[in-house]
Amino acid sequence: MTDNTSNKMWGGRFAAGPDAIMEAINASISFDKRMAAQDIAGSRAHAAMLAATGIIRDSDAEAIREGLLTILSEIEGGKFEYSAALEDIHMNVEARLKEVIGEPAGRLHTGRSRNDQVATDFKLWVRDQFDAFEGGLIALIHALLGQAEAGADWVMPGFTHLQTAQPVTWGHHMMAYVEMFGRDLSRVRDARARMNESPLGAAALAGTSFPIDRDMTAQALGFDRPAANSLDAVSDRDFALEFLSTASISAMHLSRFAEELVIWSSAQFRFVALSDRFSTGSSIMPQKKNPDAAELIRAKVGRIFGANTALMMVMKGLPLAYSKDMQEDKEQVFDAADNLMLALAAMEGMVRDMTAQRDNLAAAAGSGFSTATDLADWLVRVLGLPFRDAHHITGSLVGMAEKQGCDLPDLTLTQMQSVHGDITEDVFGVLGVENSVNSRMSYGGTAPAQVRAQIKRWKGILA
């Protein structure tokens, strides 16, 4: 059985409606109904412009405006009945508008096409997601700043290859993620500014012969300007790709942090305690407290990366201007946006709630010969040795301490002088982790004073 409703929407070109299989593959209403508010906003702006330019009567524009508001109310109230036979949100709204106001509804589509309509709707939706993305990043950065400020001078081990490297401060480690998410914030703002051009009025691909005012609709919808080329306007999905690529980089940052939280909250590390709000238990092992929120954030990266790759594959072979392939753009972006915002919110919650275990951090900071570099630097700075010689001497002292089952500060002066006779008692002043971190005063270093300076800088940026 076929339904000719959608055929009527297409016009007289087709004598019969699509069969069930064609209807199923062609329809997008199951997912693009998420753009209902954006679709109605675009139609209201378009109708107002049509009246202002004399293309339709003011009375028709007013009827359209009132009808669209009625439909928006129905959608927001969950009373709107969507039809797959009408394919998409645009035709569903237009068909309902005709039921509500009658003949004036047919004038709404003057001077536009579904091609520029869907591009406009999708841009408006993605722009809203960029704004939400920005808000989520700012909230997470504030949470990280709170942790950094509280522990600006708390010592902890810094790692390379997940092996103890040099002592750093908790605040310094938190500020590393502030920098990461700060770059994400910069990318979001940059992409959002670049995408803010209106496709509305590009029509199917060549513009329109009606005397439309594209500047008026662009301004009404909060765009900076109309898109300058009608072919590009309807075929462009760079804004969606930039959202996905920006989301992918940020999700990668979230995943790296999530991995550290999984490690840090383990019984082997005990660097942090995650709150019960973001942990779960085991059905069989009563002692377990699992960092499930962090693990799920780590996993969601795959969905976001996948969406980015999928849309790139959709777009890579398309000639200008519009092809139906582009209907496959939205589900990928919708899913990525949902999972990104969930991951950002979960990470912000974990960061705000987590408790750094200061004593455990400090104990770990002094293990693993973490001040070996400080010893080598002292040999260069005080004894004037070439760094490679100092590196060799320090390596020998590390080997000695390892055989003794102790750390570098536990060696006696006599033992140290057996490797190099000019070493003095002063060397012990650089071997403590507190001395180590306090000495790292180079710009961007781990010294508490530098950490606090960076916290102040970021508070100024976000103010």
| The pairing of beta strand 197-198 with beta strand 225-226 | parallel
Selected catalytic residue, list 73, 266, 282, 323 = 282
Strand-pairing partners, residue 197, are 225
Nearest to 203 by CA among 89, 125, 117: 117
Strand-pairing partners, residue 356, are 272
Nearest to 198 by CA among 181, 170, 222: 222
161 given a catalytic annotation: yes
282 given a catalytic annotation: yes
- The 3-state DSSP class for residue 10 equals helix
| The pairing of beta strand 272-273 with beta strand 355-356 | antiparallel
Q: What Cα–Cα distance (Å) separates residue 153 from each residue in 142, 144, 148, 158, 159?
A: 19, 15, 9, 14, 18
Measured CA to CA, the distance from residue 245 to residue 307 in angstroms comes to 9
- DSSP-derived secondary structure letter, 13: T
Residue 12 tokens read as: 């007289």
Strand-pairing partners, residue 169, are 155
Task: Indicate the angle between helix axes 58-76 and 36-52, nearest 10 degrees.
Answer: 170
Handedness of CA 94, 97, 98, 99 (dihedral sign): positive
Number of residues written out for the chain: 463
The residues, ordered by sequence, that sit 6+ positions from 403 with a Cβ below 8 Å of its Cβ are none
Selected catalytic residue, list 161, 209, 283, 442 = 161
Find out whether the peptide bond into 321 is cis, omega within 30 degrees of 0.
yes
CA 447 to the chain's CA centroid: 30
Residue 164's H or E segment, with its range, is: strand 163-169
Q: What Cα–Cα distance (Å) separates residue 375 from each residue in 290, 408, 430?
A: 39, 9, 7
Rounded-to-5 percentages of helix, strand, coil across the chain: 65, 5, 30
CB-neighbour burial class of residue 68 (10 A; exposed 0-12, middle 13-18, buried 19+): buried
Nearest to 2 by CA among 29, 22, 26, 28: 22
Question: Where in the sequence numbering do the catalytic residues fall?
Answer: 161, 282
